[in-house]
A and B are shown apart, each in its own frame.
Chain A
Amino acid sequence: SQTIHQWPATLVQPVGSPLSLECTVEGTSNPNLYWYRQAAGRGLQLLFYSVGIGQISSEVPQNLSASRPQDRQFILSSKKLLLSDSGFYLCAWSPGTGLLQPQHFGDGTRLSIL
């Protein structure tokens, strides 16, 4: 069966520091991969998605970037964090074959910026 891993679970970073969050998927090949941010008590905002290695689409222009160095690895980065980057970051995957497929989420990273 397929599993998705995100780490770290929680992270506290100072303003202006860099960021790297990692997500990996097991048990499937060529998945679609997604990064979301969820503000407290709010819905999910799509940040980036990728349908293949090296292919990244950005939904919201901001202080973050994403990369997909391997088929089942998705990384969210920032060179310099802002206070407004605080939130709950979620990685998700869906099968790469067929469009009418659900997305499956990891357990997220709680990021606090001080």
Chain B
Amino acid sequence: QQQVKQSPQSLIVQKGGISIINCAYENTAFDYFPWYQQFPGKGPALLIAIRPDVSEKKEGRFTISFNKSAKQFSLHIMDSQPGDSATYFCAATNDYKLSFGAGTTVTVRA
């Protein structure tokens, strides 16, 4: 049973465009929401993370928006570049454990 639902499964964006990935959860005990970026053959790398008492966090071209009442959060990739082509996972933490979304494969076309 997937505790974190992620959409879309894949998306294609033109260079310079905006990529948007959405996630939703049910477990209100989740208290930390990281995003990971994974390239083929590599382990996921932490991209950006947010706590539920913050509504938005920005790091460079990556922004997390968090809506606690709706139990939803999203990743926006601004000015998408070909090097951003990867699989992105949202996740949520309860105690020591991470629950992952199923992943979104982002392809940025030059």
Contact in complex: A100, B96 (CB < 8 Å): no
Q: Assess whether A49 is in contact with B44, with CB atoms less than 8 Å apart.
A: no
Distance of A51 Cα from B97 Cα, bound (Å): 11
- Complex alpha-carbon distance, A90 and B45, angstroms: 12
Chain A residues near B103: list those with CB within 8 A: 41-43
B6 closest partner in A (C-beta): A43
Chain B, interface size category, equals 20 to 34
Residues from chain B with a CB closer than 8 A to the CB of A99 are 31-32, 93, 95-96
Which residues of A are found within 8 Å of B44, using beta-carbon distances?
44, 90, 105
A42 proximity list for chain B (CB < 8 A): 102-103
Check: B89 CB closer than 8 A to any chain A CB: yes
Q: Enumerate A62-103 residues with CB–CB distance to B below 8 Å.
A: 90, 92, 94, 99-103
The smallest beta-carbon distance between B104 and chain A, in angstroms, is: 10
| A102:B46 contact, CB within 8 angstroms | yes
- A105-B43 in contact given A43-B103, A49-B97 (Cβ < 8 Å): yes
Contact A46 B97 (CB under 8 A): yes
Cβ-defined contact, B89 with A104, below 8 A: no
Q: How many residues of chain A are within 8 Å of chain B by beta carbon?
A: 25
Tell me, in angstroms, the Cα distance from A43 to B101 when the chains sit together. Answer: 6
A32 to chain B: closest CB distance in Å?
Answer: 5
Interface of A toward B, CB cutoff 8 Å: 6, 32, 34, 41-44, 46, 49, 51, 59, 90, 92, 94, 99-108, 110
Q: A32-B96, A43-B101 are in contact. List 11 more A-B contacts (CB 8 A).
A: A42-B103, A43-B89, A43-B100, A44-B100, A99-B32, A100-B51, A102-B49, A103-B46, A105-B36, A105-B44, A105-B45
Interface pairs A-B: 3 shortest CB-CB: A105-B43, A43-B100, A43-B102
